[in-house]
Amino acid sequence: MGAARGRGRRKAPRPAAGRAIDPAGILAKGEGASPPPGHRSGFVAIVGRPNVGKSTLLNRLLGQKLAIVTPKPGTTRRKLLGVCTRPGGQAVFFDTPGLERPDSRLGRFLLEEVKAAWAGADVVLFMTEGRDEGADLRALSLLEASRAPVFLLINKVDRLRRKEALLPLIGRYARAGGFEKVFPISALRGKGVEELLQALLARLPEGPRYFPEGVLTDASEGSLAAEFVREQVYRQLHREIPYAAAVRVVEMRRDPETDFLRIEAEIYVERKSQRGIVVGQGGARIKALGQAARREIERRLGEPVFLGLEVRVKPNWRQREAALRELGYAAE
């Protein structure tokens, strides 16, 4: 599973970070298309505290898995663009990191990612589980007032023990947050999601189709592959390891003999002891991580993939500006 070395390596592109949405820039690249009359389009930021189901909602809206999902809070680290195209409109969604007060340089980067999506949105979806109105409102206070309409999404309503508790819950949030609309949904099961999408498309302004039909995201193959590897770190390892881990794809190339896409990635941790845990006894854990991540990458890319993984130690990378920049967690 070690990373290959040699000539002819093509570095995977790094995603841009911390930039506000630029519709004019998207159209200038020729990614837009002439829409039918009355076509509605716009940018939609999905925001909320950690682990409330934002990535699950994005995947549900798109009808396929794009964003990684784990039970652990703090899984999302970058805003991720997903395009939903319908005959009469196109909603360009941004999944964002969990909204919370930062406690590290990495945390400050995550907050800036949320702010960038929030600042350029035509509609904001603020998502909650409805368990703590005070914590939700404190999270919202980290952001500047938005001129865009804000829809409140109360997620996981299928888990409510008493259905009659939903109406008072909606009422409390509606009075406290100044939300334009309130939608009780289940992102996992799809309850209420189609109704949300129809209301959202109707609320977007008339405008062009920013991406051709069939385009799902602007994320590079390399960045998606790195995310699927990190997903398995979160799923298969526990305690502090996932939060101390970062993944970078360093090479993507076509193997001329097998015609497989060869991907070499590096997993970074902060201490030698963490490296040992990720590798596992006799390399068992890194092998399991690679096998599970490879299946997800192949499903996403639709072709056979060879995935090579190497674990490296980068001490205290979450607090070091240079290390964050090297790993792609710095605003450009």
State the pLDDT at residue 142. 86
Position 157 scores a pLDDT of 86
> What local confidence, expressed as pLDDT, does residue 33 receive?
55
Confidence (pLDDT) at 22: 62
Residue/partner pairs of 279-287 with CB below 8 Å, 24 or more apart: 279/311, 283/1, 285/236, 285/237, 286/1, 286/311, 287/1
Query: What pLDDT, on the 0 to 100 scale, is given for residue 290?
Result: 98
Q: Would you identify the CATH topology of the domain 221-326?
A: GMP Synthetase; Chain A, domain 3 (3.30.300)
β-bridge mates for residue 126, sequence order: 47, 152
Place of tokens 């395009």: 83
Listed by start position, the domains of the chain span 23-203, 221-326
Spatial CB neighbours of 244, under 8 Å, sequence gap ≥ 6: 269, 270, 271, 274, 318
Tokens of residue 255, six digits: 């193997």
With a cut of 70, which residues of the chain have pLDDT below it? 1-35, 161-164, 177, 331-332
List, in order, residues 6 or more apart from 58 with CB less than 8 Å away: 46, 66, 67, 80, 82, 93, 95
pLDDT value, residue 10 = 39
pLDDT at 17: 43
Q: Which CATH class is domain 23-203?
A: alpha beta
d(CA 241, CA 289): 13
pLDDT of amino acid 32: 56
| Separation between Cα atoms, residue 196 and residue 173, nearest integer Å | 17
pLDDT at residue 139 in the model: 87
Q: Helices 166-177 and 133-140 meet at what angle, rounded to 10?
A: 30
pLDDT score of 160: 72
pLDDT at 13: 38
